[in-house]
Chains A and B, each alone.
Chain A
Amino acid sequence: MVLVVGVVDYVTGSEISVTLLYLAPICWSAWFANRNAGVFVAITCALTWLAVDQLDRASVGLPWVPVWNTLMLAGIFAVVAVILAALNNAKNNLEVTVAKRTAELQRAQLQLVEAARMETVGRMAAGVAHEVKNPLMTLGLAADYFLLRKPANADEAALLQDMKEAVQRASNIINLMLDFSKPRPLQLDPADLNALVEHSLGMVRHQLLKQRINVVLALQPELPTLALDRTRMEHVLINLFTNAAQAMPDGGTLTVRSRLQKASGTSTGTEAILDVEDTGSGIPAQHLSKIFEPFYTTKPPGQGTGLGLSIVQKILQIHGASITLGNRPEGGARATLTFKLQPIPQP
């Protein structure tokens, strides 16, 4: 481009207005490349202009002139290149800042929407709890009364017992909604993760036996003690074990592994990892991205509230832990819980 302008300059006899054409390659390189390229092209233009001017003078027999004009022109060209490059830089920075702020605003907006949704769920849960739990208590008391009065036969007793269990099941769903919308503060105590796993497995042993599910435990001995809310962590583990059992209606293997590993992104930190694996049919890909959303369920109507995994995630988040869910290459699903441990001091 510089060469073309030089030729035009020579052909038109070094017209001052043609000199302005040198600004085109300078502006182009400073704007689309960078400042150094702009300055380099500015000096090249100044030298080209000098060469054309000298050739022009020589052709009409005029004497050689000092290069001061060239230096001045090179300076002007370089300043134009630097200013343009700076403007372009500012424009790029502005675009990055606007994109960052837009992302922050979108995130804040999402948080506001989430907070509003949680407030709505909370209000709804408290209202539903009051309106539903009172009738449930009436039903439960009636069942208790007839059980106390000695049912006429075993069938009557079984019916009344079913009624009590139905009341409890309905109440548990309301409790889940209440816990989801109004979590109580954490009660952190030193806890042995392996012991919690074994205790929680004991609580679902009946269901696992009924479904002919083998349990394989691969727990790393002497894991460091973690600060956990035991009741809530049991809730998390029971939920994961129950989900795994429901994914294997015709039997299978539930594997629970614990281990220590180096924390990703740090040189000194460690993480305690807990894997819960089943040999069921796995999680369909279209459900994976939504599986932690409140009220999202893949279970048949009446068998899940869609709150279980979102509560599990929430409980882990407030512990500073995390959960990922995915499918195993050999079949079945795997939930991986990651608990951050304090960095181990280096000698």
Chain B
Amino acid sequence: MKRILVIDDEASITRGIKLNLEALGNYEVHQENHALAAVQTARECQPDLILLDVMMPDMDGGEVAAKLQEVPALKHIPIIFLTAIVSNAETHGRETTIGGHEFLAKPVDVATLAAAIETHLKRSRDSYWML
């Protein structure tokens, strides 16, 4: 069972992702709707992967990622950004990253999200074994 932390100021989105991923059966999903509390929540639940919204009112996704990088126990956790202000054409068929992390254009369906999560978890496992 892989632990996923979803950070988004929209509770309906974090709830939707949680219900869908948990329905798939392989994930335990934690939600956080306040960017300022994101680092603390990550410390507590120690996720295998973080889904992080880019545009949030208190602190944007980039700043949250930077704060997570400052914590040694959290800095290796893969992050997938979710953003509403890019179009699919901008991500189509190309490696798209923010600060080295992949991003997905909203609205993203569960199949795409689950595929991206699996790719990142596999990459993360491979790099662990290479250490």
Contact = CB atoms under 8 A, between A and B. Distances in A.
A52 to B, nearest CB: 87
B110 A148 contact: yes
A80 interface: no
Contacts of B107: 133, 136-137, 139-141, 167-168, 171
A153 interface: no
B12 interface: yes
B85 A129 contact: yes
A130 interface: yes
A184 B90 contact: yes
Interface residues of A, number: 33
A198 interface: no
Contacts of B59: none
Interface stretch (A32-40, A174-182, A298-306, A328-336): A174-182
A179 B85 contact: no
A18 B61 CA distance: 93
Interface string B87-122: 111101110000000000111111100000000000
Contact of A133 (B16, B17, B84, B93): B84
Label chain A's interface by main secondary structure: helix
A136 B110 CA distance: 13
Given A138-B10, A141-B16, A148-B23, A231 B89 contact: yes
Of residues B87, B90, B110, which shows the largest number of chain A Cβ atoms within 10 Å of its Cβ? Answer: B87
Interface string B14-30: 00110110011000000
A168 B105 CA distance: 12
A129 B84 contact: yes
Interface in A119-160: 126, 129-130, 132-142, 144-145, 148-149
Interface of B: 10, 12-13, 16-17, 19-20, 23-24, 55, 84-90, 92-94, 105-111
Given A136-B106, A175-B105, 12 more contacts: A134-B84, A137-B13, A137-B84, A137-B106, A138-B16, A140-B107, A145-B19, A148-B110, A149-B23, A164-B109, A176-B87, A231-B92
